[in-house]
Each structure stands twice: as structure tokens, then as C-alpha cells.
Chain A
């Protein structure tokens, strides 16, 4: 009997979850450099992903920031209007650029 009970409890053991309830990933506020275009960039980019995802790409060329901005629109449906593309690209390049076009 005891053996049977032990077997049952061993069998059930791996089914218990390590975590009860929801996990909570901390929200991290990555400060953005002040500058022209900060509001559009904050509004359009940060609604889907962290600004850390942007700045930890390293300092990049204007062509890089343009390519990524367009990819966000075309692939991920980012709600960035045609006229806002250059605003975002210029903000990123001016503040997080590598001086190369």
C-alpha cells in the first residue's frame, strides 16, 4: 500500500508547476535623448518594443535606421506614416548614429 502511494506521488510530482499564477516581467524605462522627433519615435516604436531594443543595436548609419524603420512598417505593421518615417530615422540617426549615411 505504502509502495503504491509512493509511486502515485512520484508520478504526480513533475506535474506541479514551478510557478503559480502569472510571471511579471519588470517594465524598464530606457531614457531617450532629447531631440527633434523624440515624441514620434517614442510613440511609434515603444508601443511595441522596448527602446532598449533600439539603442542596444549600437551606433548605426542612417541607411541602417531607415532600413529597420521600414522593416517595422512592412513586416510588423508599425503604424508609422510616410511622413513620419524620416522624422523617426532622423531622430535615431542624430542621437544614435555613427556619422555615416
Chain B
């Protein structure tokens, strides 16, 4: 295995700033960017997507994919933290190591995983904690994602719990550290390692080698990644190589500093008064997105439109999606799919109506979970410096002619 290969400079093309030239706006949360074009050049195993960086690769899914329950692998968003990721994985020599406070240190091959353990399948949303960060003002810290730093896939693999049981946890085993094969250029110390408490492991967490019935794409963590349904994707380690069991929590940059929000009731702060005490972002907020129609499209008066989108939360499940076509004065129930994909999956919705007058028309959608958590209006979302956990009511403006 070549662990530290640089990517070859294969093709030279002009990249551009994906961010718009925003005029300075009032310090109020707005809608996330919704007008970015896909890049003309496709990345490996991907169709052209919205591109923010090539090293590390950062790709956003275009909104149209959010009309479907499953996001196609070749349009699934990509987010790496380190510029160096292996460009080749040998599937016969690849091993995931389970070490530390275990009865026997083990190295499992892909074949071991596929033959020695119970195979499980689970459909779950993978969403970056910074999805829709571009909605925050003043500009929050991090990549200015639109709404497409997320997707939903059917994952197949083995339960994390079964693998840990196989190795056997020793007395005092308290923390699990997960490490993948991405590397910084210089430092050995700042690996993107994430930690999880042993007692937080649940039956839904899996080590997945398959996504929507195919191998994981390289850029989504081939050949094996951690799936943690209901949580933001910062701990869904890609190309997972080591699971280390310890008694004490390690001091890790990517646990202590990154992907954290103010530890107060509103999870908010102001640029002048950054909150010192922070907590991990963890559970996904209830959310919904309009995949169709597209912003700025023209529709005919009296012609029926089918609005389509997806709704999801951290696993309670979606109770209702309501749609408004009169700027939020009245909200009507959308039709939901049968929900058989489970509570961690996208729940697709549709709402049919015919615009009655010409001019600008705003379509809004709002999801309500089985916990009765409800999306707030975008303007009511309070700021945090990392621009995490945005879940404002989505709006798409059309023109009726």
C-alpha cells in the first residue's frame, strides 16, 4: 500500500471561486447559496459537481439530486480534511486494525468483514456539519457550502459492535479512536482522528464497504468507512485503517477545536462574544430541502407544478412536511413517501399546485419530526462561528409567466 502518494497533476484547468461576490448584508441568517454551477471537469467516479477545492477534494451535490430518496454515488458530496489521500487501495492487502485495550489485536481484511460477520444494510443521511454554511452572516469560518454537502445512501457492511466484540474489549476500555488513511503533508501529529465513547456505540453504527449496491467510491472513503446514523459526518471516518481502544481520551486537534458549537441552550454566539465553552455538533437537526423546481425557473400560470424534496432528522423520523406558496401565510401538507427506508433516511415529499397569478412566487418547505422538532425560518437561526447545523426553512423563488 502506498500510504503517502501525492496526487498526480493530471489535468490543468482553471478553477474559480465558487463563492459569489456577496454584497455586505445585514447580520442575519439568509438562504444558503443556490446559484453555483457545476464545474466542467469531473473528478474520479463522479459526474461534474460544484467544486471548491481539488486538494483536498471538496465537491458539493447539485440540488436536483434532492428529489430522490437515494443520492447517486457519482453525485454524492465529497469532503476530505487532508491533502494527501491514497490514490490506490489494494483490496487484497487492505486491513483494518483493531488495537489498544482489546483481548486480541486483530487485522481484518475486506474478505474477513464480508464472511466472518453478520452483513447489515442501513439507509442513512450523511451530512456535513457545515452544510449550508453560506447562509450565515457575518461569514462563518469554513468552506461556504450551499445546501448540497449532504446525501443519503444505502450502506452495507458489518456492525461496529460485532467487530469490537470479536476483538474483545478489556477492562477499562472507554474510548474508541478512529483513524483513516488521509494524511497532512508535513505533520504526523494532526491526523484526522475522531473519538467516540465505548458506551455510545449502538447497533446502527456500521463499518460499510458498500454504498447503494456498489463499492464505495474512492472519494467517499473506499474501501471502508464508518457510518454513524443521525450524527453529522465529521466522525464518519473514510478509508478507515485503525480503531484504537483506550482508557483515557486523547487530546486531539480535530476533537478539541473543530466541529464544535457553543455549549449553551441556543447553541449561538456573536462575533464580538465568542463562547468559550463548546460541545461537539453531534445530532443532525430536522431539515428539508426543495430539489425541484430550480431557483429562478419560469413556470406558467395555472399549470400544475410538482414540488419535490427531501426531509430528514437525527432518527426520530419525519412526521410532516408542510409547503407554503404564499410567503408563509398558509402551510399545506405535502405527500410523503412510505417511509420504509427508515428513520435515518431521506423522506421524499411532493406537493402539487398551480400558481394563480403571474410574478414572483416563493415556495417554502418545513419539516416537523416525530419529536415535534420543527425547522425555524432562516432569519431566526442564530449565528455560531463555525457556521454549523443550519436548518432554516428552505425557499426557492420562481417566476410565474
Contacts and interface: CB of A to CB of B under 8 A. Distances in A.
Given A23-B87, A24-B44, A52 B52 contact: yes
Contacts of B45: 18-19, 23
A25 to B, nearest CB: 5
Nearest to A78: B186
Given A29-B12, A56-B53, A22 B88 contact: yes
Contacts of B141: 57, 60, 64
B254 to A, nearest CB: 10
Chain B interface bracket (under 10, 10 to 19, 20 to 34, 35 or more): 35 or more
Chain A interface bracket (under 10, 10 to 19, 20 to 34, 35 or more): 35 or more
A18 B96 CA distance: 19
A31 B138 CA distance: 25
Interface in B51-71: 51-58
A43 B22 CA distance: 28
Contacts of A100: 138
B343 to A, nearest CB: 28
Contact of B11 (A27, A49, A60): A27
> For chain B, what secondary structure do more than half of its interface residues adopt (helix, strand, loop), or is it mixed?
loop
Contact of B185 (A14, A59, A76): A76
A15 B89 CA distance: 13
A58 B218 contact: no
Interface string B104-128: 0000001100100000000000000
Query: Among A29, A55, A58, which residue has the most Cβ atoms of chain B within 10 A?
Result: A58
Contact of B51 (A18, A23, A28, A49): A28
B186 A76 contact: yes
A52 B54 contact: yes
B87 A75 contact: no
A5 B217 CA distance: 29
Interface in A50-89: 50-53, 55-60, 64, 75-79
Query: Among A22, A25, A75, A99, which residue has the most Cβ atoms of chain B within 10 A?
Result: A25
B144 A50 contact: no
A18 to B, nearest CB: 4
Nearest to B138: A98
A78 B143 CA distance: 20
Contacts of A98: 24, 138-139
B20 to A, nearest CB: 10
A27 B17 contact: no
A60 to B, nearest CB: 6
Given A56-B19, A56-B53, A59-B22, A22 B186 contact: no
Interface stretch (B2-10, B286-294, B320-328): B2-10
B18 interface: yes
A25 B17 CA distance: 19
A25 B53 contact: no
Nearest to A75: B190
A50 B8 CA distance: 13
Interface in A1-22: 14-15, 17-19, 21-22
Given A29-B12, A29-B14, A48 B7 contact: no
Contact of A49 (B55, B89, B187): B55
Contacts of A57: 139, 141-144
B41 A25 contact: no
Contacts of B22: 58-59
A58 B139 contact: yes
Interface of B: 5, 7-19, 22, 24, 39, 41, 43-45, 51-58, 83, 87-89, 91-92, 110-111, 114, 134, 138-139, 141-144, 184-187, 189-190, 210, 214-215, 217-219, 222, 253
Given A18-B214, A53-B53, 13 more contacts: A19-B44, A19-B218, A22-B5, A27-B8, A28-B53, A29-B12, A48-B186, A57-B144, A58-B144, A64-B141, A76-B184, A76-B186, A77-B184
10 contacts: A18-B214, A18-B215, A25-B219, A26-B41, A27-B54, A31-B14, A52-B58, A53-B53, A75-B189, A77-B187
